[in-house]
């Protein structure tokens, strides 16, 4: 059953207005309290140690903190956020305190994969479920992933007795500690292969193409990544798989341009429509929609269609479509048209006064 992540500020016991120094102090105290070397045999302490490290790694980075404050845990998998593992918690602790890096043992984790898929503008707004094929490594059928030649088996490493690590005494912040280090003979796997499989050259993995079903969330943009846990490269000889990070290339819309959760549309109107007003049909992502162009509409006026924009990734609330009026001035007139304009002409050599500019109106539209 999936567990819900706690708020990072709650994990460290700090307010959102925390200063960098206060954040360091809170992390230092909790990391020391829950360090596994100080709580040997307590799995709960290990969970808290990783949780504290993950919270600090995000809140201590200005860019990550900004994204977390905006999107919460929905920001996981966005570019630059990265993943956080139990090993990462030790790396952060060692870097923070200047201690020795904790040696790893056991099966190696597979590599993360990254790939981009192309989706339509409509699918980026509404979301979509897509089937994709991912080129990656898969378990070698010839040796069932053991890496051993057919007819032979991987055997227990004689140096570490299958444990994948040996022990040594090291000096730490808590005094002398017995520390596990990867076995030099089997590289921490716990088994050795005397006769490697010829199909996978002893790795237990071969190249395949795996079919996956991907759910693209409504409101996705090109700066967002979707993380699919465990769908990266499998680890060698039974090691855990890495993750797959999906990015998106979004096809341009014929009429609309995206700006965050709002959509911009350049609305061409004739001089007579601008002067007299009109009911005009405009394209939206929801289909055609009628809007009223008021009498006396000026070039650059913004007409808002509320709720016809892009859903916010976290809240689901849709932005607006902003129709920016472009008064189309005719460049060629026949004799009759010229005569009509001459009748309407009030030419006196003086400029027509402008009360508000285009950018003022656009700012008002964004403010709502």
Widest pairwise Cα distance in the chain: 104
- At 250-264, the pLDDT tens digits run 999 999 999 999 999
- At 327-338, the pLDDT tens digits run 998 888 888 888
Best mean pLDDT range from 104-108, 193-197, 288-292, 352-356 = 288-292
Share of the chain above pLDDT 90, in %: 32
User: If you average pLDDT over residues 200-217, what whole number do you get?
Assistant: 86
Cα–Cα distance between 170 and 66 in angstroms, integer? Answer: 39
**What is the distance of C-alpha 33 from the center of its chain?**
32
How many other C-beta atoms lie within 10 A of the C-beta of residue 206?
17
Query: Is the CB of residue 263 less than 8 Å from the CB of residue 255?
Result: no
User: If you average pLDDT over residues 37-44, what whole number do you get?
Assistant: 76
Residue at token pair 């090993």: 87
Query: Is the CB of residue 81 less than 8 Å from the CB of residue 227?
Result: no
Q: What is the structure's pLDDT at 101?
A: 46
Residues whose CB is less than 8 angstroms from the CB of residue 40 and which lie 6 or more positions away in sequence, other chains included: none
Q: What is the pTM of this model?
A: 0.56
247 token code pair: 């990015």
Helices 20-34 and 43-59, interaxial angle, to 10°? Answer: 160
Q: What is the structure's pLDDT at 1?
A: 36
Query: Is the CB of residue 271 less than 8 Å from the CB of residue 327?
Result: yes
E-strand spans in 8-150?
A: 113-119, 128-139
Average model confidence (pLDDT) across the chain? 81
- At 237-291, the pLDDT tens digits run 667 788 899 989 999 999 999 999 999 999 999 998 999 999 999 999 999 999 9
Residues whose CB is less than 8 angstroms from the CB of residue 290 and which lie 6 or more positions away in sequence, other chains included: 279, 280, 281, 282
Q: Is the dihedral of CA 281, 286, 267, 256 positive or negative?
A: negative
- At 134-150, the pLDDT tens digits run 988 887 888 877 788 88
- What element of type H or E holds 210? strand 205-216
Q: What is the structure's pLDDT at 298?
A: 93
Q: What is the structure's pLDDT at 185?
A: 75
How many other C-beta atoms lie within 10 A of the C-beta of residue 85?
13
Find, among 67, 86, 88, the residue nearest to 76 by Cα.
Answer: 67
Share of the chain above pLDDT 70, in %: 78
How many other C-beta atoms lie within 10 A of the C-beta of residue 272?
10
8 token code pair: 């990072």
Q: What is the structure's pLDDT at 9?
A: 93
Q: What is the structure's pLDDT at 145?
A: 76
Cα–Cα distance between 119 and 105 in angstroms, integer? Answer: 41
What are the angstrom distances between the C-alpha of 223 and each of 12, 130, 214, 241? 28, 19, 17, 25
């Amino acid at each position: 059953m999936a567990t819900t992540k706690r708020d990072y500020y709650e994990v460290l016991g700090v307010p959102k207005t925390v200063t960098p120094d206060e954040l360091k102090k809170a992390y230092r105290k909790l990391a020391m309290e829950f360090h596994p070397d100080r709580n040997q045999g307590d799995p709960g302490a290990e969970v808290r140690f990783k949780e504290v490290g993950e919270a600090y790694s995000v809140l201590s980075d200005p860019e990550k903190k900004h994204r977390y404050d905006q999107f919460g845990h929905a920001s996981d998998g966005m570019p630059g956020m990265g993943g956080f593992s139990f090993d990462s918690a030790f790396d952060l602790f060692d870097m923070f305190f200047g201690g020795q890096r904790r040696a790893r043992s056991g099966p190696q984790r597979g590599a993360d994969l990254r790939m981009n898929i192309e989706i339509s503008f409509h699918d980026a707004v509404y979301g979509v479920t897509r089937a994709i094929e991912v080129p990656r490594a898969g378990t070698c059928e010839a040796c069932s992933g053991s890496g051993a030649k057919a007819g032979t088996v991987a055997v227990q490493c004689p140096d570490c007795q299958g444990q994948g690590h040996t022990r040594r005494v090291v000096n730490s912040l808590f005094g002398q500690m017995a520390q596990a280090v990867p076995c030099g003979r089997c590289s921490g796997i716990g088994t050795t292969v005397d006769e490697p499989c010829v199909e996978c050259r002893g790795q237990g993995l071969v190249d395949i193409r795996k079919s996956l079903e991907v759910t693209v969330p409504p409101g996705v943009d090109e700066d967002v990544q979707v993380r699919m846990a465990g769908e990266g490269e499998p680890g060698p000889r039974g090691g855990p798989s890495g993750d797959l990070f999906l990015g998106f290339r979004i096809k341009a819309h014929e009429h609309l341009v995206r700006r965050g959760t709002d959509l911009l549309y350049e609305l061409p109107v004739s001089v007579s429509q601008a002067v007299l007003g009109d009911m005009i049909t405009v394209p939206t992502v929801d289909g055609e929609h009628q809007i009223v162009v008021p009498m006396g509409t000026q070039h650059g006026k913004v007409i808002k269609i509320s709720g016809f924009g892009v859903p916010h990734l976290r809240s689901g609330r849709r932005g607006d479509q902003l129709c920016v009026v472009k008064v189309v001035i005719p460049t060629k007139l026949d004799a009759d048209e010229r005569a009509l304009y001459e009748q309407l002409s009030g030419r006196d050599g003086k400029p027509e006064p402008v009360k508000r500019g285009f950018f003022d109106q656009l700012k008002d539209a964004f403010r709502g």
